[in-house]
Structure 1
């Protein structure tokens, strides 16, 4: 089965699609990748690459990566982000057929993160290559554009909705990363079939053993509540700081914020201004380092802002936290909170409720080591059943096989007629 993975973001950028490709190879798929020049998250094209370059390289795992020109997104610049999005759509549609000339694919697999409009080029390539197109919906457009405040103009939002509806109706299968996405996608997808396919956990946790080298950072003594990931407005970290302020009198409780993002500087300033001695920011670390860091945590924190669209998503860090085998505090609404509650891995509280978050932390702090260990074990068991990467790769390959068998069946019926 020859698969073209189509994604604006890819290695050496740190995205889950990198490991999905490796897992697909492990279950017998022959994979080629079409992507842009790496520039995320800092907005500058990575060293060794050029923004307007057309290039081909071989990944250390042996598969081929084709790169088309991509204008870097810049730093917190709306216009720069728009040009970044549009440049990949245009270059993948025009340059993509050139770099893929002479190559045949059974199926094109689109990792449908923002910008979702990249899928237009994938559908065009599908027609040129006579390949089926499967789109893995990671973001709801135009809803996420409106929720983030990135686009407020109703006419623009309606136009985006029309394009997204055309995309949904033009592909052969839609996969949604959250069950909460289904109703929104169904309204716009016509007869295109929809299946639930969650984001897998990280392979680093499958490979992690107790015999690995010392962790990249050593956490201090006490009850360490660790947040790991992007630090932006969506993560509602202002409420996390409010909760930390409420917990200052509990000297043993520490809030550890690992990662970086658009609010990093603001958070650092707030910690100093409010004298939050119980909050530390060790920095950002590679995926490979995270198992060793999270293993030191007493509990793991996931938080999101209150929004009806965002509540439909399952933050990918939920899978990571489950795999880490530590109790989880979920300060969010909807699907993500439901997973934590259903798994029995921890506690949840409403999004952006600092007081409830502080109480949730205190609830876990008050448990015995045996009770905390049980929560972690229940999380790992749930992870193995629902999010284990190799299991999900096999399921994804089966989805592909179903799409291709439907094409073969249709061809046979056409020949018979």
Structure 2
């Protein structure tokens, strides 16, 4: 089966779709990728690439990547982000068909992270290639725009909602990364079929830990590790408030691994509040993360409160389950449900700093055998629900059924 993956972001940028493509290859698919010029997260075009560059690139794994021009994100201000999104939309719609001329595909597979508008080139390519269009919805639009406060104008939200309906209804199959998405997407999708297909875990977590010292060594004590993006919806202020409450407990610390739009704000706040129990070691490569997470006393996932975010399962939940360490879920809804259903840790309401501090202290007081039981339970749940090879085979089954139909 020939599959074209459409994603604004792709290798050497670090996104889960990179490993999904590898898994699809291993499952027997012939895969090509249409993407932009790499510039995430820092906003500068990567070395050896050009913003206005276009053309094919052979990946070391043997498949072709076709790149179209983009306007880089730069410092991530609103107009720069809009320019970045629109440039890919236009380039992929106009240049993409030319780069892919003469090629046949059975399925066009859109990796629908924000903004979902990047699926528009998928609708265009569907017409050129007479292929089935599958859109994998990773975020709810326009609901997320409203929930984050990025857009408040009701007219703009209504316009975006109309475009999203058009995308959903021109797709042949919609996959959603959370069961909580189903009803929201169904209300906008009319008769387009919808299936639940979660994000898989990272391939690195299915391998043995690398020999030698980890990329970052945690200090002795009860280390609560948060890993991943540090943005507006991760409720970082709640984490800092909890850290203030935990200052009297000298052996408890929060280790925030990663980067994002609020990294500098975090550094300033930690210094201003005198939070000696919060560490910011920076960002590490995906292959380094299993070795770092394996040292944690507990792993922390957090989101702000709100009906839309409560329907989301942060992708780090899969990595945490695979790491086999107890999980603290400072969030509402579907993400907390997964952690509790797995028996992998404890949950508390989103943006409730006192409750978060209490959960951390509860875990610290537990016997090591109970913490190990939580970690083992989480790893078993991961193997049953999020293991990459299993999910890749299921994805191929979706494709085959759709093409036959």
TM-score by length of 2: 0.99
**Partner of residue 221, structure 2:** 222
Aligned to 2:93: 93
Q: Whole-Å Cα distance in 2 between the matches of residues 277 and 128 of structure 1?
A: 58
Cross-structure match for 1:159: 159
Partner of 1:411: none
- Written as runs of structure 1 = structure 2, the 5 A alignment for 1:180-195 is 180-195=180-195
Q: Aligned-pair distance for 1:55?
A: 2.3
Contact 2:39 2:46 survives alignment (8 Å)? yes
Aligned residues of 2:210 and 2:291 also touching (Cα < 8 A): no
**Secondary structure in 1 matching 2:19:** helix
**In the alignment, does 2:384 pair up with 1:385?**
yes
> In the alignment, does 2:327 pair up with 1:323?
no
Q: Quote the residue 1:365 is aligned against.
A: 364
Distance 2:137 2:369 in 1: 39
3-state SS of paired residue (1:188): helix
Query: For 1:140 and 1:266, how far apart are their aligned partners in 2?
Result: 27
Contact 2:318 2:386 in 1 (8 A): yes
Matched residues in 2 for 1:240 and 1:272: separation?
A: 15
Measured in 2, the distance between the counterparts of 1:121 and 1:231 equals 29
Runs of 5+ in structure 2 lacking a partner? none
For 2:264 and 2:32, locate their aligned partners in 1 and report how far apart those are by CA, in whole Å.
38
CA drift at 1:210: 4.0
RMSD over aligned Cα atoms: 0.8
2:223, 2:255 within 8 Å by CA — same for their partners in 1?
yes
Q: Which runs of 4+ in 1 moved over 2 A?
A: 210-213
Equivalents in 2 of 1:77, 1:257: separation in Å?
Answer: 24
SS of the equivalent of 2:188 reads coil
The C-alpha deviation readout for 1:251-281, integer Å capped at 9, x for no partner, is 1111101001111111111111111111111
Q: Name the CA shift for 1:137/1:355 in 2 (closer, same or farther; >3 Å).
A: same
Q: Which position in structure 2 is the counterpart of 1:413?
A: none
Match of 1:415 in 2: none
Residue of structure 1 in register with 2:102 after alignment: 102
Q: For residues 83-109 of structure 1, give each alpha carbon's deviation from its aligned partner in whole angstroms, at most 9, with x where no partner exists.
A: 111111100010001100111100100
The answer for the alignment partner of 2:53 in structure 1 is: 53
SS in 1 for 2:329: strand
Alpha-carbon contact 2:201-2:387 (below 8 Å) kept? yes
The 1:212–1:131 alpha-carbon spacing in structure 2 relative to 1, beyond 3 Å, is same
- Alpha-carbon distance in structure 2 between the residues aligned to 1:212 and 1:204: 14
Taking structure 1 as the reference length, the TM-score comes to: 0.96
How far 1:211 moved relative to its partner? 4.9
**Closer/same/farther in 2, CA of residues 245 and 392 from structure 1, 3 Å limit:** same
Local SS of the residue matching 1:364: helix
- In the TM superposition, residue 145 of structure 1 has moved relative to its aligned partner by 1.0
Residues 223-273 of structure 1: per-residue CA shift (max 9 Å, x gap): 100000111111011110110111111111111010011111111111111
Where structure 1 has 5 or more consecutive residues not aligned to the other structure, the ranges are 407-417
Measure, in 1, the Cα distance between the counterparts of 2:76 and 2:107.
35
In 1, the alpha carbon distance for the partners of 2:243 and 2:88 equals 41
Render the CA deviation track for 1:106-128: whole Å, top value 9, x for unaligned. Answer: 01000011121111111110110
Distance 1:105 1:213 in 2: 44
CA distance in 2, matches of 1:320, 1:211: 17
After TM superposition, give the deviation of residue 63 of structure 1 in Å.
Answer: 0.7
CA distance in 2 between counterparts of 1:285 and 1:31 reads 28
Q: Corresponding residue for 1:12?
A: 12
